Amino acid sequence: MTSANAKFSIIILAAGQGSRMKSDVPKVLHEIGGKPLLEHVINTANTLVPQQIYVVYGHGGSKVKDRLVHLPVQWVEQAQQLGTGHAVEQAIRLIPNDHIVMVLYGDVPLVSEITLRALAAASVTALGVVTCEVAVPFGYGRIVRNAQGRVLQVVEEKDATDEQRAIREINVGIIAAPAGLLRAWLAALDNKNANGEYYLTDVIAKAVAQSIEVKTITAATLYEILGVNTKAQLAELEREYQWLQAQKLMAQGVTLRDPRRIDIRGEVRVGKDVVIDVNVVLEGRVELGDRTYIAPNNLLRDVVVANDVNIKPNCVIEEARIGAGCEIGPFARIRPATVLDEKVHIGNFVELKKTEVGPRSKINHLSYVGDTTIGSGVNVGAGSITCNYDGANKFRTIIGDNAFIGSDTKLIAPVEIGAGATIGAGSTITHNAPANELTLSRVKQVTVKGWKRPVKNKPE
């Protein structure tokens, strides 16, 4: 990707403690958009198709490795945290001299593929450095240039003069260079600075001293080069990340009632004319068919939604498939392994779990239906439930096509309701109900004459 024959490796620094996060969770495992900061960086790095990605870990290393074991990286331990230069040195010993090496940071999650590709292209025979001009450069290393505009060095905030602190071009810390050159520069670093650390940024002065060109790449946006050191910064980048996801959805034709009030925590695929109202959270893999409408305050996680579905307010839908023309909610909960066929109605305060519902069936009010297969054209009345759990095991209920389940019915699984059967309201069904017949179970209605309601005792 850097040139026709260049080989390419990436080092990601993820060893910092992150003490300002005030958390037992390693900094790089704090999340944006439902993924750890480090995972965002690794995913972007993978788009460059390097020969290898090396992650340098230290603080909380086992936690970091265990959480991200599924990612294709090689882990390198930095047992002592002696600075960024020292961290890179731990990994570069594994990289051949003929590679181009790029250094990224596990707590800078929004760095873009566009910026990194430009950096890689600039560093085949030079030292490439990502910079950015900011209005308030406090805390960042400053890019010091000569009168001709050539880069001379990077000076850290603590080591800068007043004149240097006035410079607004900052060093982002992301660099790329031929491995052989970078290895030699790292070996020549010293820790004679305010922090007593080996700064990676000092390699810039080493390159200048050897007349190696330093090429700067300007980051497209400030947010892509911002790191996370506090919970406030984490929240700031979360909002920026969500704004970027909202822009992607709108570019695909989605109508967002308020783009600042949606949270994307995974991958979303959309059809045409999708409308999403405020305070919707989409997690995992979500597919939304044509003309899907999602009302306010809904959570969808790992859901496939077909065309013309109306999801009313305040629903939770997880690991389910929703057929075309369905109406769901308000206040419905659809739990994993549930499949709704076309034009199913699931109403308010209905909960489904491991249930298949056939076309045009309705469960409209205050019901729990679990471990159940429901045919087409079925009506489940208000307050009806399937009693699928005996305290140790789960059992299945089967309801045939066009059955009618009266309100406040309890179906004690395992049980089968035949096609066209009617179950009288208030029944408790413990045996199979035959097709096309009325089945009910009720205690004989009795009136107790002269009975009086209890009254409160008068105080003594």
H or E stretch covering 404: strand 404-405
Query: Mind giving me the DSSP string for 139-159?
Result: TSPEEEE-TTS-EEEEE-GGG
Question: Position of tokens 């739990």?
Answer: 335
79 by Cβ neighbours in 10 Å (0-12 / 13-18 / 19+) ranks as exposed
d(CA 271, CA 318): 20
Q: Contact at 8 Å (CB) between 294 and 275?
A: yes
Question: Position of tokens 């880069």?
Answer: 151
Chain-centroid distance of CA 63 in Å reads 19
Active site residues per annotation: 365
d(CA 317, CA 61): 35
d(CA 423, CA 247): 51
Based on its alpha-carbon atoms, the radius of gyration of the chain, rounded to whole angstroms, reads 31
* Widest Cα–Cα separation across the chain: 108
